[in-house]
Amino acid sequence: MKALVKGAPGPGLDLVDVPDPHPGPGDVLLRVKRTGICGTDLHIDAWDDWAARTVKAPLVVGHEFVGEVLEVGAAVTTVKPGDLVSGEGHLICGTCRNCRAGRRHLCARTLGLGVHVDGAFAEYVVLPEQNAWVHNHAVDLDVAAIFDPFGNAVHTALAFPVLGEDVLITGAGPIGLMAAAVAKHAGARHVAITDVSPERLALAEKLGVDVALDVSRSAISEVYGRLEMTEGFDVGMEMSGQPSALREMISTMSHGGKIAMLGLPAQEISVDFSQVVLKMLTVKGIYGREMFETWYAMSVLLRAGLDITPVITHRFHHTEHAEAFETARGGHSGKVIMDWES
């Protein structure tokens, strides 16, 4: 089969022939239909310090995908050939304290599909049955391909109640944009989102945010009057990983405010924790999805009318992977999809 592979340490990916995978007793084999490019894939392609520490080449990359089940292992009980499946890319151990307690998203020995084991940027991929989310209702293939990052957005957006609250999101990348759509759908009074990319701020406006603010031109506190706010934001969602974004978010939160932090900083962040203490703020780290409560919520939200299709801005055939990666890396797009069908 054809697959996008990190063949050796160093920058770049190659579309090459590799052996077809075969499912084990508890696995399902999928024919991949669509994949989404994630920031993690960009790190692996560029071979930055994180990738060099984490990834062992050769490796088939990619973890955002949807595919059709072709074959199931002898021990598979519910998934069947013909099912349309999106994949949960975090592979858990099943035996640690959190796994045994049902808190699978907190497994300390999690392995990443397309990071630690061969992934989904390929014509076929093998997945444990427990990681297969079967779509029992009609879903757009491009949307189904990005259930992984959509889950990050839903996990973050619903980490704290947002009904009737004023919400601040720092970072209008694809996940931040989807989180904004979820917060509005879930009944937030106002949603403000910040970035420095005009294209991404324009996408945020299409998704119905109340304020899309270019923080290179204006301070967040300047939106208070426009939103009839007097005491700051009730809920914050930090998606950028930028030190200045977290510091400004803390300074603009109301007393007792709650911050869900998904953005992964590339460097240490210095924070005035006296503000956290004196304002009695709650800061919660978010990683991945709550398996599989978040997946259930994603499907319900889509069936209830949530539309995240504006987040998808570019589509490429997998043979155009170089252009697809360059588009995703440019920072002016939303979600970039690759088609793996002929």
242: domain CATH number is 3.40.50.720
Q: Is residue 172 part of a domain?
A: yes
Q: Is residue 293 part of a domain?
A: no
Q: Is residue 294 part of a domain?
A: no
**What pLDDT sits at residue 264?**
87
In whole angstroms, give the CA distance from residue 291 to residue 339. 26
Q: Is residue 299 part of a domain?
A: no
Judgement on whether residues 127 and 214 belong to the same structural domain of the protein: no
Task: Quickly count: other Cβ atoms within 10 Å of residue 48's Cβ.
Answer: 14
Q: Is residue 300 part of a domain?
A: no
Judgement on whether residues 278 and 228 belong to the same structural domain of the protein: yes
Judgement on whether residues 8 and 137 belong to the same structural domain of the protein: yes
Which positions ≥6 away from 131 have C-beta within 8 Å? Answer: 87, 88, 89, 90, 91, 113
**What pLDDT sits at residue 213?**
97
Judgement on whether residues 10 and 140 belong to the same structural domain of the protein: yes
Q: What is the CA radius of gyration of the chain?
A: 20
Q: Are strands 190-195 and 211-214 parallel, antiparallel or unpaired?
A: parallel
Judgement on whether residues 89 and 142 belong to the same structural domain of the protein: yes
Domain ends where: 270, 285, 300? 285
* 109 annotated to a ligand binding site: no
How is residue 176 written in tokens?
A: 């931040």
Judgement on whether residues 227 and 269 belong to the same structural domain of the protein: yes
Residues with a catalytic annotation lie at 40, 43
* 27 annotated to a ligand binding site: no
**What pLDDT sits at residue 331?**
86
How is residue 40 written in tokens?
A: 């993690």
Quick check: 191 and 214 in contact, CB under 8 A? no
Quick check: 153 and 71 in contact, CB under 8 A? no
* 330 annotated to a ligand binding site: no
Query: Which residues share a beta bridge with 89?
Result: none
**What pLDDT sits at residue 266?**
77
* 195 annotated to a ligand binding site: yes
Q: Which amino acid is at 74?
A: A
Domains: count for the chain: 2
Judgement on whether residues 16 and 139 belong to the same structural domain of the protein: yes
- The SS3 call for residue 249 is helix
In whole angstroms, give the CA distance from residue 168 to residue 236. 5
Q: 277: which DSSP letter? A: H
CA nearest 235: which of 256, 257, 252?
257
Which domain covers residue 130, as residue numbers? 2-146+308-339
Beta strands in the chain (DSSP E): 2-6, 14-17, 27-36, 59-60, 64-72, 84-87, 90-91, 111-112, 124-128, 132-134, 166-170, 190-195, 211-214, 233-238, 253-261, 282-285, 312-317, 335-339
Quickly count helices (H) and strands (E) in the chain: 11, 18
Judgement on whether residues 118 and 184 belong to the same structural domain of the protein: no
CA nearest 118: which of 11, 222, 23, 245?
23
Judgement on whether residues 141 and 157 belong to the same structural domain of the protein: no
* 64 annotated to a ligand binding site: yes
Q: Is residue 195 part of a domain?
A: yes
State the CATH number of the domain containing residue 49: 3.90.180.10
Most distant CA atoms of the chain, gap in Å: 62
Q: 84: which DSSP letter? A: E
CA nearest 201: which of 218, 185, 213?
213
End-to-end CA distance of the chain: 12
Task: Quickly count: other Cβ atoms within 10 Å of residue 265's Cβ.
Answer: 14
Q: Is residue 292 part of a domain?
A: no
Per-residue pLDDT for the chain (342 aa), expressed as one digit of tens each? 999 999 999 999 999 999 999 999 999 999 999 999 999 999 999 999 999 999 999 999 999 999 999 999 999 999 999 999 999 999 999 999 999 999 999 999 999 999 999 999 999 999 999 999 999 999 999 999 999 999 999 999 999 999 999 999 999 999 999 999 999 999 999 999 999 999 999 999 999 999 999 999 999 999 999 999 989 999 999 999 999 999 999 999 999 999 999 998 878 899 999 999 999 999 999 999 998 899 999 999 999 999 999 999 999 999 999 999 999 999 899 999 999 997
Q: Is residue 112 part of a domain?
A: yes
How is residue 94 written in tokens?
A: 């099943």
Judgement on whether residues 203 and 281 belong to the same structural domain of the protein: yes
Judgement on whether residues 116 and 27 belong to the same structural domain of the protein: yes
Judgement on whether residues 260 and 239 belong to the same structural domain of the protein: yes
